[in-house]
Structure formats: structure tokens, C-alpha cells
């Protein structure tokens, strides 16, 4: 029997008993690693906030105080040397203030004088779980769902604590590829049970829904959003949900995308479909999060699809509909320019969808700190222009929650940036490291540098200079730029994106190509359209670059491509070396587990470099520069390699023949 599946069978009982009886150094405590005698002097009667401080605060007296007129979820922390006062207008605000104080304690930064006032940038700060009714998780790399199939109340409560500690206030409990059974009455009873556990931590539950549910669950002959019986079915179903869960948040919808049903099946628009659901939710103050992830197989440029389909509908959505837009125009690639929908929708509420789980960034094997990636996004998409933010979760039932100890940092980072998108990657890394491992600067300083640089390292050994979607068929883990298969859609093959030939490499989205640049504001359009001014990190995204094109540093494009891949490999090895030097500061269990993962990552980086450079060299016909480490494999051998996945949630060790 697969050991992970065997473990999962006994997981709920084991995990619950484990948490109650003892704490091993296995990552199960995340960043909530409080050490306290539980004797804190707390005044106030505000539920979980009081309990967290009573159990975990080691300092002087703390007073929790309700104060009218403060921003929703906001708080103040003030100390006068004698006591600390946390003020907020809601219990949720007091809880966030309590966790802020505990965060300072965990970092060793509680001074005698405190004067802090904070409120979140976004009203909705939501984790999207791609969990299925059978307990599996699509693109999940940390085991099975904590919500479905033998859920454990204690585990869900610990999940709630972790979310609340970084300000996350919503959870979509199921996959965007939703099953109609999501809305059946028996399933809603389980959703009610989960909602009751999450509610004291300020977390509302949401559900992904299948647009054809009136047919498949309600027995109707149509799901046409303009049909009165369809609208009536949805109203009745929504009313049923709110009788069970009065604070239910609303629906997330993936429609007319990758085979999912939607309003376009009936000649209706996305706006007409979303508004029908929004009307049912409006009396209950619920929202519809309507995903814009759409693409058609017959379009010459997949990157243009979402804009073409949704921009003409700007202003047609009701005010409780929020369009949920992936950060980039393709699909969570290691690096993408931002989706032009963010700057083209002027009269529609928009929220960003970021991916916390590393679907295209090494799954649970590679250390990839995502804060720099998301900061790059926020540098062009102004945070204040967004109404809400969502992150595709990386949480599963593995004992360390995320499959990789450092993947926990991305869960933490999403929450912190959802609260304050102006925080720097360095600040967040230091916070997480100090709370999760140690406050010793001999550990925190080098590890902060390593974490912050890890994203650029991964991009370099995977797909530098604007390359994207060079993954092997059947998974999004390893490289296979030559991949194709009989009958497969062209936009599901790497060649569709890299377009390598004897002249050069890259997808021409300039005004002379597909003209995707025209979807951006004038200043960026002009910058991206000219190969000389296009940022080199996006070069092959917007241009078919000649092999001998001169880069800003004087190298030819081919030579620079080789150097980038080489830098990525050396960067991955450097990460392993830095971690090895951290042995004196880390417990032996987590040290060994992270070391093992970093060894996999270093080897995988060679796999990526060799596969991509040897393949692209068949088009460039140019030698690999002498100052670059040459591939250690042959191309014919690389093309025979197949990833060996016995458990997709945790792809093992890269490749085998």
C-alpha cells in the first residue's frame, strides 16, 4: 500500500491525538510556536482573542477593548509601560490585534512602548481550496483535504488559527471544478459544521458551484440564467444555505472554461450568468467571485483570451459580483506580465487570484519563496485598485501542512500581503523565519537572503527571459520543451509558447505579431512592443528573439540564455550549501527533511538546464559558452526520461527511465 494513503486512513485520529499529546519538531505548529506558562493577565471578554492571549502571551497585563468608529477588522495596540491595550470595533479586529502582539513576541520585538494602528487593504482575503468531495486535492502537493473525508475538528481549528494569525478571513472549501453534489443537502450539513468551527476565528466559508447544478441536482432541463425556473432554483438553494449558515460568504464560479458549464452554453454572457447568481445572494449580503480564466483552442494567442471575453462586459456586472483574475494572462507561470484585465476594467469590481500552491514552481519539492513574485505583480497593478484577493491554497493533511517546511512561508506570505501588500519580501521572510525556527541572527540573516533570492533562482533554471509553459505532458513538474501528442491541443504543448526555429526563440506578441501588447496601457504597450525597451525578464514573452540579438550586457541572446540557466543551477546548489551551514540552529528533524528537498531541487535544476539548453541548441546551432557549465546529459537520453510519480501530491525525485 502507498505509505501516504495508508497514513491518510489513520490521519484524523493520529493528527488529533498527536496535537493534544505532544509537539515534535515536524512543522505541525507552523509559525504558531508559542511557549507560555498560560498565566497571562487578560482583561476583557472577547472570545478567541482573550483565549489566545491567556494561553500564549508572556508579557504584562493586556486589556481588550471595544472602540466604535474604527475601520472594519482594524485595531490599535498601545502600551504605557504598565499595560497593553488592544482596541477594535469588532471581535475580529481584537483577534487580529492579539495575533499581532503574539507575532511581535515570537520575533522578540515587544518593546516597552507600543503605538500600532493597522487595518487591512482588502475586505475579502480568501483562500481557495481545490479540494474534491473524495478528499483529493487538484494541484495539491501536501496530501488530502482537511475538510472532506474524515475531517478532524481539531485540525480544522488549527487551520483557522493559522489563517486568523495572518488576517485571512475567508475559505472556499472546494475545487473550482465543482461537482453538483456540492450543493446537496447532506453536503451542506458538513459545510455548516466546518463554518461553525471557523466562525470564531473571523473566517467565513464560500463554495465553488457548478453552473449546471439546476439540471444535475435540481432536475431542470436547462441552466439558462435568463430562465425564471433556473433563477428560482438558485434562489431556493441560496435561501437553504443561509438558513444553515447565516454568515455564508457566497459563490466562486468557474464557467465556460476547460469544459465547465456556463451561461455561454445558452448564448448568454458571463455578466448575465454572474448577475443571476448575484441576485439570489444579494438579500443575504453574499458575493459572487466569477473567474476570468477562459481560453479557446482556436485563438492564435491564448494570452489575449480573458481580455477579449471580459473587457467588453465592463460595467455590466452587479455590485456584488467580483471578477477574479489570475495574476498573469496564461496560468500561474513562474513569471508572467500581469493580466491586462487589471488595468482595462474600469467599472467592474476586480480581485487578484494568486497561487500559493506551487503548481508550476516545483510542487512540494522546490523551495520557492513567492513574495518577490507577488511584489512584482503589485508594482504594476496598484493594490488599491483591487477589491479583494484570493490565493489558491497549498494546505493538505500532511503533518507539516504544506509538504515542504518552507512552503508554509508562502501560506504565511499570502495572508500578510492580503492584509498589507506594501510589505517587503525581506520583512515577511524575517517574520516567518523568526517565528518558525529561531530569532538568532546567524540563522535569520543568511536564510532571509536565501529565501528572497530563491524565486529568481527557480525562474532562471526553469524558464528565464520570458519563457513559459515548457512542462512535460501529464504534469507541471519537469521540463519537456519538445512535448507533443497525437490529437492534443496546440496550446497545451510547449512549442506553442517557445516557437523555437533557426531564427530565434519566443512568442511574438508585439504589434507585428498577435498584438497582445495593445491590451496594456499606452506606456507599457510602447515599452513592451519595442524589443530594445522590453524588460528582458519578459523578452521571449513578447518577442521572437533572434539568437544573435545583443542583450543589454553585450552578450548574444543565446549566450545569455545559457548563462541564465547556469546561474539557476548554481543558485540551487548555493541554497543547499547555505542550508547545510544552518545545522547548528535547526532541529535535526526539520533540518534533514529540508536538506533532502534541497538536494532534489539542486538535481532538478540540472535536469531543467540540460533538457532546455540541449533542445534549444538544435535550433540555435550555437555552442554553449565556455564559461558556462555544460550539460551532464545527452539530449537523446533526456528525451527518454520520464518523471516517476507514485503519488502526484509529492512528485518523487525528478526523473527515471
Spell out the domains of the chain, with CATH numbers in brackets.
32-118 (3.30.379.10), 124-436 (3.20.20.80), 461-507+544-656 (3.90.1330.10)
The three-point CA angle 200-205-206 to 5° equals 165
pLDDT at 44: 62
pLDDT at position 23: 52
The stretch 56-77 carries a mean pLDDT of: 95
Active-site pick, 331, 515, 530, 536: 331
Please check the confidence at residue 644 and state whether its pLDDT lies above 90. Answer: no
**Which pLDDT score is estimated for 21?**
38
Q: How far is CA 56 from CA 17, 50, 82, 122, 592, in A?
A: 21, 10, 19, 28, 29
| Residue 653: predicted pLDDT | 40
The pLDDT value recorded for residue 182 is: 97
User: Which residue of the set 117, 123, 258, 589 is catalytic?
Assistant: 258
User: Is pLDDT at 11 greater than 50 in this prediction?
Assistant: no
Query: C-alpha cell of 274?
Result: 454572474
Catalytic, 149? Answer no
Please tell me the predicted confidence (pLDDT) of residue 332. Answer: 98
Across the range 135-162, mean pLDDT stands at 96
pLDDT above 60: residue 18: no
Q: Given this model, what pLDDT does residue 9 score?
A: 40
| 58-62, 341-345, 403-407, 502-506: the lowest-pLDDT one | 58-62
Q: What is the mean pLDDT of residues 594-604?
A: 97
Write down the pLDDT at residue 80: 85
- Categorize the per-residue pLDDT at 649 as very low, low, confident or very high, splitting at 50, 70 and 90: very low
pLDDT tens digit sequence for 313-355: 999 999 999 999 999 999 999 999 999 999 999 999 999 999 9
pLDDT of 32 reads 97
Q: What share of the chain is helix, strand, coil (3-state, %, to 5)?
A: 45, 10, 45
117 is catalytic: no
Verify whether residue 397 is a known catalytic residue.
Answer: no
Q: What pLDDT band is residue 81 in, cutting at 50, 70 and 90?
A: confident
Helix (H) or strand (E) segment spanning residue 172: strand 170-172
Evaluated on CA atoms 118, 122, 124, 129, the torsion sign reads negative
Q: What is the pLDDT of residue 34?
A: 86
For 271-287, the pLDDT digits (tens) are 999 999 999 999 999 99
Whole-angstrom distance, CA of residue 13 vs CA of residue 330: 41
Residues 529-541 have pLDDT tens digits of 999 999 999 999 9
Task: For residue range 478-501, list pLDDT tens digits in order.
Answer: 999 999 999 999 999 999 999 999
pTM: predicted TM-score of the whole model, two decimal places: 0.95
37: confidence class by pLDDT, cuts 50, 70, 90: low
Which helix (H) or strand (E) element contains residue 76?
strand 75-79
- For the cut 50, the answer to whether the pLDDT of residue 600 exceeds it is yes
Q: Which of 73, 272, 336, 359 is catalytic?
A: 359
Question: What 3-state class would DSSP assign to 301?
Answer: coil
pLDDT in tens, 173-183: 999 999 999 99
- The fraction of the chain above a pLDDT of 90, given in percent, is 88
**Which range has the worst mean pLDDT, 42-56, 197-211, 214-228, 370-384?**
42-56
Q: What is the pLDDT of residue 17?
A: 43
Amino acid at each position: 500500500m502507498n505509505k501516504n494513503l495508508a497514513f491518510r486512513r489513520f490521519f484524523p485520529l493520529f493528527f488529533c491525538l498527536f496535537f493534544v499529546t505532544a509537539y515534535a519538531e515536524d512543522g505541525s505548529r507552523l509559525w504558531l510556536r508559542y511557549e507560555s506558562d498560560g498565566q497571562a493577565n487578560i482583561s476583557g471578554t472577547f472570545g478567541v482573542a482573550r483565549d489566545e492571549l491567556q494561553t500564549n502571551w508572556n508579557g504584562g497585563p493586556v486589556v481588550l477593548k471595544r472602540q466604535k468608529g474604527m475601520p472594519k477588522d482594524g485595531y490599535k495596540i498601545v502600551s504605557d509601560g504598565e499595560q497593553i491595550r488592544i482596541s477594535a470595533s469588532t471581535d475580529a479586529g481584537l483577534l487580529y490585534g492579539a495575533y499581532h502582539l503574539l507575532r511581535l513576541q515570537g520575533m522578540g520585538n515587544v518593546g516597552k512602548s507600543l503605538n500600532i494602528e493597522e487595518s487591512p487593504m482588502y475586505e475579502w482575503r480568501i483562500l481557495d481550496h481545490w479540494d474534491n468531495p473524495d478528499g483529493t486535492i487538484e494541484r495539491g502537493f501536501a496530501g488530502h483535504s482537511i475538510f472532506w473525508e474524515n475531517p478532524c475538528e481539531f485540525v480544522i481549528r488549527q487551520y483557522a488559527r493559522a489563517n486568523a494569525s495572518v488576517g485571512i478571513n475567508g475559505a472556499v472549501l472546494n475545487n473550482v471544478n465543482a461537482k453538483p453534489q456540492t450543493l446537496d443537502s447532506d453536503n451542506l450539513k458538513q459545510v455548516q459544521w466546518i463554518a461553525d468551527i471557523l466562525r470564531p476565528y473571523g473566517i467565513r466559508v464560500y463554495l465553488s458551484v457548478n453552473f449546471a447544478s439546476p439540471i444535475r441536482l435540481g432536475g431542470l432541463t436547462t441552466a439558462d440564467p435568463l430562465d425564471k425556473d433556473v433563477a428560482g432554483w438558485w434562489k431556493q438553494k441560496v435561501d437553504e444555505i443561509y438558513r444553515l449558515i447565516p454568515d455564508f460568504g457566497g459563490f466562486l464560479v468557474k464557467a465556460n472554461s476547460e469544459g465547465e458549464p456556463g451561461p455561454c452554453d445558452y448564448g448568454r454572457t458571463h455578466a448575465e450568468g454572474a448577475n443571476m447568481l448575484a441576485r439570489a445572494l444579494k438579500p443575504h449580503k453574499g458575493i459572487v467571485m466569477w473567474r476570468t480564466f477562459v481560453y479557446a483552442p482556436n485563438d492564435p494567442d491564448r494570452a489575449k483570451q480573458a481580455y477579449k471575453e471580459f473587457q467588453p462586459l465592463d460595467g455590466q456586472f452587479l455590485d456584488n459580483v467580483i471578477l477574479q483574475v489570475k495574476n498573469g494572462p496564461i496560468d500561474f507561470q513562474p513569471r508572467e506580465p500581469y493580466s491586462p484585465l487589471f488595468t482595462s476594467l474600469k467599472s467592474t469590481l476586480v480581485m487578484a487570484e494568486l497561487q500559493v500552491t506551487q503548481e508550476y514552481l516545483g510542487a512540494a519539492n522546490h523551495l520557492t519563496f513567492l513574495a518577490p513574485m507577488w511584489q512584482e505583480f503589485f508594482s504594476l497593478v496598484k493594490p488599491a485598485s483591487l477589491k479583494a484577493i484570493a490565493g489558491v491554497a497549498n494546505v493538505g493533511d500532511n503533518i507539516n501542512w504544506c509538504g515542504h517546511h518552507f512552503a508554509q512561508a508562502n501560506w504565511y506570505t499570502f495572508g500578510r500581503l492580503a492584509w498589507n501588500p506594501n510589505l517587503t519580501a525581506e520583512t515577511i521572510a524575517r517574520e516567518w523565519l523568526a517565528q518558525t525556527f529561531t530569532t538568532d541572527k546567524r540563522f535569520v540573516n543568511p536564510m532571509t537572503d536565501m529565501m528572497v533570492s530563491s524565486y529568481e533562482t527557480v525562474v532562471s533554471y526553469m524558464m528565464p527571459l520570458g519563457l513559459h509553459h515548457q512542462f512535460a505532458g501529464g504534469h507541471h513538474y519537469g521540463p519537456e520543451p519538445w512535448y507533443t501528442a497525437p490529437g492534443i491541443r496546440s496550446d497545451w504543448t510547449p512549442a506553442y509558447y517557445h516557437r523555437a526555429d533557426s531564427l530565434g526563440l519566443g512568442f511574438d506578441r508585439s504589434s507585428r505579431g498577435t498584438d497582445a501588447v495593445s491590451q496594456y496601457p499606452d506606456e507599457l504597450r510602447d515599452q513592451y512592443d519595442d524589443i530594445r525597451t522590453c524588460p528582458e525578464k519578459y523578452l521571449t514573452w513578447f518577442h521572437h528573439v533572434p539568437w544573435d540579438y545583443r542583450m543589454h550586457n553585450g552578450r548574444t541572446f543565446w549566450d545569455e540564455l545559457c548563462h541564465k540557466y547556469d546561474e539557476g543551477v548554481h543558485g540551487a546548489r548555493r541554497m543547499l550549501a547555505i542550508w547545510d551551514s544552518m545545522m547548528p540552529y535547526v532541529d535535526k528533524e526539520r533540518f534533514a527533511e529540508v536538506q533532502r528537498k534541497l538536494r532534489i531541487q539542486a538535481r532538478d535544476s540540472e535536469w531543467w538546464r540540460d533538457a532546455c539548453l540541449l533542445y534549444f541548441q538544435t535550433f540555435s546551432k550555437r555552442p554553449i559558452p565556455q564559461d558556462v557549465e555544460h550539460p551532464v546529459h545527452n539530449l537523446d537520453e533526456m528525451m527518454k526520461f520520464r518523471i516517476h510519480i507514485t503519488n502526484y501530491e509529492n512528485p518523487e525525485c525528478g526523473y527515471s527511465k
